[in-house]
Amino acid sequence: MTQSTQNPNRLINEKSPYLLQHAYNPVDWYPWGDEAFEKAKKEDKPIFLSIGYSTCYWCHVMEREVFENEQLADLMNKNLVNIKVDREERPDVDRIYMKALQAMSGHGGWPMSVFLTHDLKPFYAATYIPPTPKHGIPGFGDVVRAINNVWKNEREKITQTSRQIYDHLSKSVSPVLPQQNLDENILDNGFAQIKDAFDPENGGFGDAPKFPTPVMFNFLLPYHIRTGERQALEMPLFTLKKTAHGGIYDHIGGGFHRYATDAKWRVPHFEKMLYDQAQLITSYIEAYQITGDEFYANTAKDVLEYVNRVMTAPQGGFYSAEDAESAVDPDNPSEKEEGAFYVWSYEEIDSVLTADEMAVAEKYYDIRKDGNVDADPHGVFTGKNIFSIVTSKEETARELGKEPGDITELQSSIRRKLFEAREKRTKPHLDDKILVSWNGLMISACARAFQVFGKDEYLHMANNAARFILNTLYDGDSRKMLRRYRDGEARIEAHLEDYAFLIRSLIDLYEASFEIDLLDTALRLSKDMIELFYDEENGGFFDTSGKDPSVILRSKEWHDSAEPSGNSIAIENLLRLSYMFGRDNYREKAMKSLSYFSEIMNKAPQATAQFLAVLDLALSKPKQIIIAGDVYEPATQTLLREVQSRFIPGKVLLLADGSNGQEYLSSKVEFIGTVKKIDEKPTAYVCENFTCELPVNEVDKLRNLLK
C-alpha cells in the first residue's frame, strides 16, 4: 500500500525503521503498550502480535501478501487488536514469545505471528502465514476466522491452552538446574561434540543453511592455545578462509552477509548485520595474531572499511543492518528482489571490464555466461552470478599465462570498476537505529583492530561510538541506560546484553587507549548490572530488570548463537575485572553463575560455545601485564605492541603511567602503586595473581616471558 492512497496508522509516530515500514498498511497497527492492551480488554478481542525486524526478507513478503491486502486487513481490524514489535528494539518481548513458538511448533523464526489473551499469554503461534493455504499451511484469513470462532464460542479452551503454555514457559526461561563440577571435562566434551559437527570439506558446522559462528571460534582458539589441540586451530582457520572466499562475503563492497543457503557458502541470504561484522572482525584478527597470515588481517581490514563507509553514523555509533532486497528498477521502488543489489548478469560485468579483467573474473571468481548459481532451488538467481573466489591467484596466473602480481592488479581494478557500477543501483534499505548491545560488539572489534594494526582510524571509530553511547544513552547521575537511539530519540530500558556488551567494549577500549575513565565507567556499569539483573539466590543474570509488567516472565538466556548471550559476556566481564582489580566478590559471582549453567554447557556445548570460552578463562591463570611508562613514549609503544600483537587468551593489560591513571589503579590494587620504570626506561611486569616475574624493559626479554 503506497503512502499516497492510505492514511497512516499509529506506527507513524514510532522511530523504529521496522514499525515505520508498516505505518501505511491498512491494518490498524498499535505499538506494544497499554493503549493496545486496554483496547483488547474493552472490545473483548484477542491480540495479534507480529514480531520482525526491518531487514527481514520474509517479514517483507508477509507484509506485501497479508498486511497490505485490504480484505485481510479489514478482517484483522474487525476481529483482533493488532500489535507490531521490532525484535531488535524489544528482545525481551521477542524472547518470551519465541520460546512459546518453539514450544508449540518445534521451530522458530521471523516474522513471528502470535495470538495472545488479554493477560498477554500466548495461545497460538506461527511464523510466516500465507494469504491463502499453501504447502499445508492454512491461509491467514482462515486462521483469523478460526481463532475468532473459538474466542467467541469456546473461550475456556483458549484460557486452558494459554495457561498450560505459560506454565511451561515459566519453568523453562529460568529453570532450577542440576550442576556439574566446573572442570576441564566440560571443555573436552564440548570440543569433542563441536569437532563431530565440523564440515571438513567446506568448513563450518552442520549442514545448510550455514551461519558464521564466531562464538565457536571464541572457544576453539583459546582451547588450542591451552591444550595444543591442533584441530581446535585448524577448524576456525579453514572455516574463516572458506567463508571469506565464498559468496557469503561481499567481494565487491566488503562485509559478510547473514548466512549461506548452501553448504559451500556460495549463495547467501543477502542481509548484512552489524553483529556479524563485529564478531567476524575479531575472529579474523585473532586468526592473524596466531598465524601471521596477512589474508586474515586483510579480511578484517576490508570489513572495517565497509563498516566505516556504510554502517557508521556521522555523530558516532554504528547502524544496525542492511536489507537483503532492493529495487531492480529505480523507477519502480516498490518492486523489490532479494540480492538485486549484489547479483550480476554476465553481460553487465562484461560491459564494465576489459578483456583481461573479464578473463580473470571468469577464472578467479567463476563468472559464467549462463550464471554460476548452481544451488538455487527456488530459481531466484537463475542466469545470475554471485562473486566467490574459487581458485588461487597463482593458479589463475598459470592458466592465463600471467604473473600473480598481474592478477592482483587486475583483481583490484575489477573490484573498483564493479563497485562504481554497483553504486549506481538502488541500494538496500539501511536500518539506521543505534543499539547499545551491537555497538558494544563493534566498539570491541575496532579497539582490537587498533591494538593489532595500530591504525588510528580504528581507535577513532571505537572512541566516537563509545562516547556517543555514554553521552546519549547513559545517565551516570541517575544510573539509567537506554537501549536504542534513532532520529534524535533515545528510548527503551536497556537489558542485560546492553550492559554486558558495553562493559566488555569499555574494557577492550581501555586496553587500546588507556583512558582511565573507561575502566571507571566499566566498574560503575558492572555495579548497576549486578543490582539490576544478578540472581543472588541461584547465580546467573536475568535478561531484564523485571520493572516492565508487560514482559510476563524474566528469562535467563543461555543460548550463544548469532550473538553471544548476555549471560556469558556478563560472566566474562566479572572475571576480567576480578583479574584487573583483585575483586574476589566478582569472581565468586562469576563462578556461581558458571555453576548454574554447567549442566547446559555439558549437554549442549554447540549452543553454549561462549560459555565454554568463559569457563576456559575461569580455569586458566590469565597473565596480568602491567606496562610502566608514558603511553605516548615510543619505547612504551614498543612494549605495548609486543603484547598486543600476540593472541593471549584472557590477558589483562594495564598501564602504570605515573600519573592519574596509575593513581586510580593503585586505589583499587595497592600493588600497582609500586610499579615503576627501571633505569628510567618503560618497563613491563608480567604477573599471575599480581605475583610477577622480574620486570623487563627489553622487547626480546618481554617476548620470552609472553611465550
pLDDT of residue 3: 47
Across the range 61-70, mean pLDDT stands at 96
Q: What grid cell was written down for 623?
A: 597473565
Cβ atoms 495, 91 nearer than 8 A: yes
In total, the chain counts a number of residues equal to 707
| Residue percentage of the chain with pLDDT more than 70 | 99
pLDDT at 135: 82
User: Is domain 621-707 in CATH 3.40.47.10, yes or no?
Assistant: no
Span 109-127, mean pLDDT? 96
Nine-digit cell string for 616: 576456559
Rounded CA separation 507/683 (Å): 22
Q: Sign of torsion, CA 330 333 335 341?
A: positive
Residue range 520-538: average pLDDT? 97
Lowest-pLDDT range of 227-241, 323-337, 344-358: 323-337
641: pLDDT strictly greater than 80: yes
What is the pLDDT confidence band of residue 107, given thresholds at 50, 70 and 90?
confident
Strand (E) positions, 339-455?
430-431, 434-435
Is the predicted pLDDT of residue 330 greater than 60, yes or no?
yes
- In angstroms, the CA 436 to CA 494 distance is 8
- The answer to whether residue 4 scores a pLDDT higher than 60 is no
pLDDT digits (tens, 9 = 90+) for 538-563: 999 999 999 999 999 999 999 999 99
- The stretch 669-689 carries a mean pLDDT of 93
Q: In this predicted structure, what is the pLDDT of residue 49?
A: 98
User: pLDDT value at position 500?
Assistant: 98
The one-letter code for the residue type at 410 is L
The mean-pLDDT minimum among 244-248, 318-322, 354-358, 670-674 falls in 670-674
The residues with which 492 forms a beta bridge, in sequence order, are none
The phi and psi torsions of 321 (rounded to 5 degrees) equal -170, 160
User: Of 229, 226, 222, whose CA–CA distance to 287 is shortest?
Assistant: 222
The mean per-residue pLDDT over the stretch 189-194 comes to 98
Residue 380 pLDDT class (50, 70, 90 cuts): confident
Mean pLDDT, the chain, rounded, equals: 95
10-172: CATH architecture? 3-Layer(aba) Sandwich (3.40)
Closest by alpha carbon to 142, among 152, 133, 154, 153?
Answer: 133
Structure confidence at residue 707 as a pLDDT band (50, 70, 90): confident
Convert 474-502 into a string of H (helix), E (strand) and C (coil).
Answer: EECCCCEEEEEEECCEEEEECCHHHHHHH
Query: How many CA atoms, within 13 angstroms, populate the side-chain half-sphere of residue 577?
Result: 30
Please determine, for residue 5, whether its predicted confidence score (pLDDT) is greater than 60. Answer: no
pLDDT, position 176: 75
Q: Give the whole-angstrom CA distance, residue 348 versus residue 366.
A: 15
Compute the average pLDDT of residues 208-230: 96
Q: Give the pLDDT confidence of 267-292 residue by residue, as tens digits.
A: 999 999 999 999 999 999 999 999 99
Task: Find out whether 67 and 58 touch, Cβ atoms under 8 Å.
Answer: no
Q: Is the pLDDT of residue 610 over 60?
A: yes
Residues in Cβ contact with 604 at an 8 Å cutoff, skipping those fewer than 6 apart: none
Which pLDDT tens digit goes with each residue over 409-452?
A: 999 999 999 999 999 999 999 999 999 999 999 999 999 999 99
pLDDT by residue (tens digit) across 393-414?
Answer: 999 999 999 999 999 999 999 9
Residue 435 and residue 481 in contact, taking contact as beta carbons nearer than 8 Å: no
Rounded percentage of the chain residues whose pLDDT exceeds 90: 91
| pLDDT computed for residue 406 by the predictor | 95
| CATH 3.40.30.10 domain range(s) in the chain | 10-172, 621-707
Task: Label residue 378 by pLDDT band (50, 70, 90).
Answer: low
